[in-house]
Amino acid sequence: MCFRLTQPQTWSRGFTLLELLVVVAILAVLVGTVVVGFTGADEERRLRTLAEGIQARLELARQNALQRNREWGVHVEDNSYRFTEFDPQSGIWITQAQRPFAATGAAPRIEFEVEVEGFDLGPFNVPDEEIPDIVLFSSGEVTPFTWALLPDWDTTPWTLSSDGLAAVTAQRLDPRRLGSSRRATRGDQGNLTHLFNESRSP
């Protein structure tokens, strides 16, 4: 008698089109979530880098004004800024083109808002519109100011400030001071100095 061993029969079934579509949809959602997370982190990093870069340039310009015994200025536009030096002979604010003071390109998705306190700017015989928003005096003083960096996404803005004597500081507004259900955006422009002062109070 002859016996023949046979392997058990197995059945295999491929994925249906519907199952494949479901898997693809899930992967797309997961990938999109990761991309959005990375994009948000990149934007926050860019905002902080911009604030700290402006702070460093302001302090360097302040030192230049002191060493050269010349008044320097910062002209702030909606999303760009430039440094100038006052020429007393010609009475002109001359834009600085050399690094690191050369004008930078526009900051995409970030607007600037500057508020200055009353300060004697001195005898600059130029039209008011040509006087810089922030003056860095040869004495080492600066126009007391608060400079806000206002992004167009939902986050807490950065501010730069000086009381006129102290070094320029860069920091974020404390979101706890702005309310638990909201963060400061461009709509808070008129209250930025008040909010900034509150964020520094104990």
Query: What tens digit of pLDDT does each residue of 148-174 get?
Result: 999 998 888 999 999 999 999 999 976
Please name which of 125, 118, 119, 161 lies closest in space to residue 139, comparing C-alpha atoms: 119
Residue recorded with tokens 């083109």: 97
Q: What is the mean pLDDT of residues 106-119?
A: 84
Please count the structural domains in the chain: 1
Q: Is residue 9 part of a domain?
A: no
Range of the domain at 187: 20-200
Identify the pLDDT of residue 17: 67
Q: pLDDT tens, 20-76?
A: 666 666 665 555 444 444 456 888 999 999 999 999 999 999 999 999 999 999 999
Domain with 186 in it: what CATH number? 3.55.40.10
Q: Is residue 103 part of a domain?
A: yes
Which residues on adjacent β-strands are paired with residue 151? 110
Per-residue pLDDT for 138 more than 90?
yes
